[in-house]
Amino acid sequence: MRNDIEELTRKGEEVPAGKLDAFKRSFEIISYNPYIREFLEAEAAFAMFFAKIQQIIAESLTQLNPAGAQPSTNGSHEPVPQESTD
């Protein structure tokens, strides 16, 4: 259920109210268990931490190549050699 909601959100589609309500009810019920609540809080904290790391990496890569990465034309992940103007 959670994956369905996340996928719809990533696609920019509207999540049906019924599906969202069912998810909220399920989340509320399982949150009564203190161990599960603690796990979910830790998972959320980790997700925020990981997102921050990804943001830092993306900013660093942008600083290394401010013009943006040029896509490879040779089908590999290696940089495409630039032609010499000498």
Spell 19-43 as b/e; 16+ CB within 10 A means b. Answer: eeeeeeeeeeeeeeeeeeeeeeeee
* Total-model pTM: 0.53
User: Could you tell me the CA-to-CA distances from 12 to 6, 16, 47, 54, 55 in Å, in that order?
Assistant: 10, 12, 20, 21, 21
The pLDDT tens digits of the residues spanning 20-79 come to 899 899 989 998 999 999 999 999 999 999 999 999 999 988 888 766 555 555 555 555
Number of neighbours of residue 80 by Cβ within 10 angstroms: 11
- CB-based contacts of 72: which residues, under 8 Å, 6+ apart? 78, 79, 80
